A and B are shown apart, each in its own frame.
Chain A
């Protein structure tokens, strides 16, 4: 079994503020999706507030600056993420295709060496 991060992608929809009836239905279907796929989800992760609430810390210039807004200004953005366990990438893709929302970017997890905390 391998672990995959599912980055749930949004297409500019804001489920938290004034969603349309159609968006409300998608949001309800997403809740059902989490129920159905519960056993495959090893870490529920989080749903994120919209990108307008983002703060970005930039260090690339050698100086640390804090700016309002997301790192990448784009209509499409990460709206949440969860960690899924699946036998292989094909299986992960099959699960992702059942997602009721806009889309998912699948990224394998880099396993960290076991360490004592």
Chain B
């Protein structure tokens, strides 16, 4: 599959501060999440991709255009939803989306029709006729999403699209993102701090920390543990069950929320675990092949020193 975005050794300095340090990565079609602690360089990376900032060194390509050389063409094909509020005061919701459409060269009346169409998709009703200043956080979020989408770009960069949304709205927003990627072939770069969102929709994950790429891989590959193991949740005391497993000659350890991880091949291991549970008269709530959680992946990536570039 041809990557949509390819970066080679991109470095960006602000004076003596290095915001991006030799960042190299490839982003393929689908939903890619960009993660990282505050100050990791995510916003700088987005600005470099949009051509709002010129990289100090390195080169890159977005779709078929060179970064820094074809900024206008890139911005025509990218829809950007910023994290912060950005609106023109005094305009209603539909006028704001129409304005964004016209800036992206949609002609006059057609831009108004398209603005209504997109606001329908974003689930905004009659409130679209109110001025933006009166909007709640969730409505502003939907408005920014509509503005990013109105010109039907092949690539969307969404910065914290679900922050400030209630659980139902968050679910709906994620389903919209999935619809756009799965049914309409949009490539989506999702910047978020909400890891369950990443887990719910992402195909690939990029983790930035201290200005460098720590991890860049498909989420399903990252979730696979290095050695086969099983994860168990028991109804009663997990410590007691873990001790009994150890006495039965199995390697067991207790993780977050009382989950017991036992290393070994799945089939023979499961039989042994059931035998131990039966002898100890302990009820097993769940037994499944263990996978690395995104929290674990994120924390280990942020703590680790070597990066994916090296």
* B is a partner of A: no
